[in-house]
Amino acid sequence: MRSLLGLTPAEISELIHVKESFRAKQIYHALYTGIESFDSITNIPLVLRQQLSSEYSILTSKMDTSLDDEDGNCKLRIELSDGLFTECVILSDGDGRKTICISSQVGCKMACAFCRTADMGFKRNLTSGEILEQFLIGQKIAGKLSNIVFMGMGEPFDNIENLKKAIQILNDKNAIGLGARRMTISTCGIVPGILALAQSPLEIRLAVSLNSAIEEKRRQIMPITARYPLKELKDALIQFQEDKNKRFTFEYVLIKDFNMGDEDIKALRYFTSGLSVLVNLIPWNTVEGKPFQTPDRKDINVFCSKLDKLGINYTLRRRKGFGVSGACGQLAYKAR
């Protein structure tokens, strides 16, 4: 049976043939309160509850496995209604705040060379309801979730319509009511998506996976560079900055003997000029079978000291989720 998650009140009203619009709004609101059956919606008539129970389910997906580490991080493998799986990760900051890293696709088309998800290939887009179900399942497992990062499997802007609808419902006070500033979209550099976000009234945060500011190098590890070259990407980011008047983030995966040399730093300084940006340094998380190496502490310290001298604004990300293979670039599953 299909779910009503991801539908607006108007769409619910039309689908279940309810004339009173307030009834659809009651159902819409109840869906995001953590109910497990339609019988829990006691402010709607019994006959309507029976109709919903016979024709629809609250969720279409279910948790398959859960992996936890000693730092309070958790990776959830979620089985979808068609037998495919996706993964999401819940990260704890140690102060009680929890961030969920949500997938937007099963697999990914972008083929980034350092990412395990790329090895899966692309299976399909997630529906807006399936995106929302990750949040609801995660909250049931981990309790209150403070922030969302669309940085799981897939490229969020490659599934933009379902993403937009899910975000609207997450932000809606009559549904989940999570502030837009508590949500971040991470993209490999899909220019139309960045420009669309710039024009959106919602103040959602933006993170861009850069990984090299040298065109040829970036193309080696991120094929999307051939479609959206660095100049076009920077033009879009300047537009985003002008429209939103706020800082965004560059994600920069540190790969030993590849993107940490003097020429890489010089290119990074040039590319970040004129941008209000924080460079988030992420030591590469090991993925079996990939021809890359993770830099050691000495390599990282040397790199950071050179950034300091050039005045590049950066932060060094502490590894989170590595203990459950849920760190950046590690999400994937093997088909049964």
pLDDT tens, residue by residue, 128-156: 999 999 999 999 999 999 999 999 999 99
Would you give the distance in Å from CA 108 to the centre of its chain? Answer: 13
How much is the mean pLDDT over the chain? Answer: 93
- Domain assignment present for residue 192? The answer is yes
- Domain assignment present for residue 296? The answer is yes
**Residue range 98-116: average pLDDT?**
96
Does residue 250 share a domain with residue 112? yes
Q: Using CB atoms within 10 A of its CB, is residue 25 exposed (0-12), middle (13-18) or buried (19+)? A: middle
Does residue 66 share a domain with residue 32? no
HSE-up (13 A, CA, CB side) for residue 115 = 27
Does residue 278 share a domain with residue 255? yes
Distances 313 to 214, 269, 275 between C-alpha atoms, Å = 19, 10, 11
Q: Which of 306, 309, 239 is nearest to 275 (CA)?
A: 239
pLDDT tens, residue by residue, 279-316: 999 999 888 888 999 999 999 999 999 999 999 999 99
Q: Which domain holds residue 91?
A: 62-324
Identify the pLDDT of residue 336: 43
Does residue 237 share a domain with residue 95? yes
Identify the pLDDT of residue 321: 42
Structurally, the chain folds into a number of domains equal to: 2
Q: Which two tokens stand for residue 179?
A: 């502030």
Does residue 108 share a domain with residue 232? yes
Report CA dihedral (229, 231, 232, 236) to the nearest 10 degrees: 130
- pLDDT over 70, % of the chain: 95
pLDDT tens, residue by residue, 319-330: 554 444 444 554
- The residues, any chain, with a CB within 8 Å of residue 113's CB and separated by 6 or more, are 220, 221, 222, 290, 292
**Residue range 22-33: average pLDDT?**
97
- Domain assignment present for residue 227? The answer is yes
**Residue range 36-41: average pLDDT?**
96
CB 6 within 8 A of CB 129: yes
Does residue 115 share a domain with residue 71? yes
pLDDT tens, residue by residue, 185-209: 999 999 999 999 999 999 999 999 9
Identify the pLDDT of residue 334: 52
Does residue 114 share a domain with residue 245? yes
- Domain assignment present for residue 329? The answer is no
Question: What is the three-class DSSP state of 1?
Answer: coil
Identify the pLDDT of residue 162: 97
Does residue 213 share a domain with residue 82? yes
Does residue 163 share a domain with residue 18? no
Q: What is the pTM of this model?
A: 0.91
Return the CATH number at 308.
3.20.20.70
- Domain assignment present for residue 2? The answer is no
Q: Using CB atoms within 10 A of its CB, is residue 19 exposed (0-12), middle (13-18) or buried (19+)? A: exposed
Does residue 301 share a domain with residue 216? yes
- Domain assignment present for residue 335? The answer is no
- Domain assignment present for residue 336? The answer is no
The catalytic residues are 87, 328
- Domain assignment present for residue 332? The answer is no
Burial 251-278 (b: 16+ CB within 10 A, else e): bbbbbeebbbeeebbebbeebbeebebe
pLDDT tens, residue by residue, 154-191: 999 999 999 999 999 999 999 999 999 999 999 999 99
HSE-up (13 A, CA, CB side) for residue 317 = 21
- For residue 142, the tally of other CB atoms under 10 A from its CB is 19
Identify the pLDDT of residue 332: 54
Does residue 160 share a domain with residue 15? no
Identify the pLDDT of residue 289: 84
Cα–Cα distance for residue pair 83/81, rounded to 1 Å: 6
Identify the pLDDT of residue 330: 46
- pLDDT over 90, % of the chain: 88
Does residue 41 share a domain with residue 93? no
First to last CA, the chain: 24
DSSP conformation letters of 143-202:
S---EEEE-SSS-GGGGHHHHHHHHHHHH-TTTT---GGGEEEEES--HHHHHHHHH-SS
